[in-house]
């Protein structure tokens, strides 16, 4: 595992931190790609001391900013130059209405647009024939994530979160198809309902969630289990284009896996890479 290089986004806390810890334990070189540098540095020190793995590092990444993604990729190229495992874990479920610096609704701009831009710019660093893997974090809530391109900025909070996760799922399936010949596997994981900060909104109903629902949540280590399995195990090597609910492989209901919609999302998203005017953005 020593030669393997993994990037985990949002690795400073929650499921991402657990994932980074397990990959570091397995002896990989782990890049913690984080927005909050200070908290990431503390997490990195803890992981290093828990695992005795000196090859764990923090790099700055804000997925809601195209410039930050570009800088991260440039920096990664200079420091590492190759990649084996990409875990697209970072995400938000926010009520905030303030658009991202690139003028996207924040859930969609971070969870989908940021993940798409980062992944596409990192593809050149996967080497041919080295059993490389991409794992995207989704949520079962994608089932209420139907969307229209001309309303991209019109969704709010939970609905926008669902839309963003549905887009990540469609992206996963499309990318898995496109990368099949390159030997890079791409899968999606819903980690379960996990006791992390994303479950709380800093509003009055947090109290209800805490008292009534929290006992039913799983912890971050359990939430990370399938991600680790897909990243690390020999058994997972042949799996691509699959969707997991915790450790169970789930069939995606046919209406959610429309090749037409996948292709349309791919075309829409590719235009973001070319720095073209963004179709569908509502000003
Ligand atoms: N918890 C659940 O029940 C659940 C269920 C389904 C899916 N998921 C998915 O699992 C993933 C991990 O969530 P979690 O439960 O571990 O939540 P969490 O504890 O809130 O962690 C979210 C992580 O994402 C990072 N992040 C947020 N916005 C970012 C940005 N613009 N750029 C870079 N990093 C950013 C956060 O960094 P900061 O510290 O800087 O905010 C944090 O490290 C998410 O994709 C989430 O949608 C979680």
Ligand 1 nearest-atom number relative to CA 16: 16
Cβ proximity of 85 and 132 under 8 Å: yes
For atom 7 of ligand 1, the residue with the nearest CA is: 139
Does pLDDT of 277 surpass 80?
no
CA 243, CA 169: separation in Å to the nearest integer? 8
Sign of CA dihedral 137, 183, 70, 38: positive
Domain-located, residue 280: no
- Per the structure, the count of domains in the chain is 1
3-state secondary structure of 226: helix
**What is the domain range of residue 254?**
5-273
Does pLDDT of 133 surpass 60?
yes
Q: What's the pLDDT score for residue 189?
A: 98
Mean pLDDT for all residues in the chain? 92
Domain-located, residue 234: yes
Does pLDDT of 278 surpass 70?
no
Q: What's the pLDDT score for residue 32?
A: 98
Does pLDDT of 204 surpass 60?
yes
Q: What's the pLDDT score for residue 214?
A: 80
Does pLDDT of 50 surpass 60?
yes
Please, which residues have CB within 8 angstroms of residue 37's CB and are 6 or more apart in sequence?
A: 58, 60
Cβ proximity of 85 and 119 under 8 Å: no
Candidate of 7, 9, 10, 17 to mutate for ligand 1, largest count of ligand atoms within 8 Å of Cβ = 10
| The three-state (H, E, C) secondary structure of 247-271, written as one string | CEEECCCHHHCCHHHHHHHHHHHHH
Q: What's the pLDDT score for residue 115?
A: 98
Q: What's the pLDDT score for residue 249?
A: 95
* Lowest-confidence pick of 73-87, 129-143, 198-212, 223-237: 198-212
What residues line ligand 1, using a CB cutoff of 6 Å?
Answer: 9-10, 12-16, 35-36, 39, 61-64, 89-92, 110, 137, 139, 190-191, 193-194, 196-199
| Reported pTM | 0.95
Q: What is the CATH number of the domain that holds 30?
A: 3.40.50.720
Domain-located, residue 200: yes
Q: What's the pLDDT score for residue 139?
A: 97
Please, which residues have CB within 8 angstroms of residue 276's CB and are 6 or more apart in sequence?
A: none
The crossing angle, in degrees rounded to 10, of helices 37-51 and 14-25 is 30
Domain-located, residue 278: no
Q: What is the mean pLDDT of residues 257-282?
A: 78
Could you tell me the end-to-end alpha-carbon distance of the chain, in angstroms, rounded to an integer?
47
Domain-located, residue 44: yes
CA 83, CA 59: separation in Å to the nearest integer? 14
For atom 19 of ligand 1, the residue with the nearest CA is: 14
Domain-located, residue 27: yes
Q: What's the pLDDT score for residue 275?
A: 64
Q: What's the pLDDT score for residue 216?
A: 85
Does pLDDT of 279 surpass 60?
no
How sure is the predictor about 127, in pLDDT bands with cuts at 50, 70 and 90? confident
Q: What's the pLDDT score for residue 215?
A: 81
Q: What is the mean pLDDT of residues 181-188?
A: 94
| CA 15 to ligand 1 center in whole angstroms | 8
């Amino acid at each position: 595992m020593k030669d393997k290089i993994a990037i985990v986004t949002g690795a400073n806390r929650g499921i991402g931190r657990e994932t980074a810890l397990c990959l570091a334990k397995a002896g990989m070189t782990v890049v913690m790609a984080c927005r909050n540098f200070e908290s990431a540095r503390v997490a990195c020190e803890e992981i290093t001391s828990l695992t005795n793995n000196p090859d764990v590092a923090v790099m700055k990444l804000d997925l809601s900013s195209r410039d930050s993604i570009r800088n991260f990729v440039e920096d990664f190229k200079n420091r590492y130059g190759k990649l084996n495992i990409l875990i697209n874990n970072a995400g938000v479920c926010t009520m905030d209405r303030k658009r991202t610096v690139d003028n996207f609704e924040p859930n969609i701009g971070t969870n989908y647009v940021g993940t798409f831009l980062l992944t596409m710019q990192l593809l050149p660093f996967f080497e041919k024939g080295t059993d490389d893997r991409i794992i995207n974090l989704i949520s079962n809530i994608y089932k209420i994530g139907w969307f229209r391109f001309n309303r991209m900025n019109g969704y709010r909070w939970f609905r926008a979160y669902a839309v963003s996760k549905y887009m990540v799922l469609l992206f996963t399936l499309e990318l898995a198809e496109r990368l099949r010949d390159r030997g890079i596997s791409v899968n999606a994981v819903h980690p379960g309902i996990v006791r992390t900060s994303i479950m709380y909104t800093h509003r009055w109903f947090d109290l209800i969630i805490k008292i009534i629902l929290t006992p039913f949540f799983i912890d971050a280590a359990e939430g990370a289990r399938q991600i680790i399995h897909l990243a690390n195990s020999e058994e997972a090597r042949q799996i691509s284009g699959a969707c997991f609910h915790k450790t169970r492989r789930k069939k995606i209901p046919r209406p959610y896996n429309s090749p037409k919609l996948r292709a349309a999302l791919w075309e829409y998203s590719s235009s973001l890479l070319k720095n073209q005017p963004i179709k569908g953005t509502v000003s």
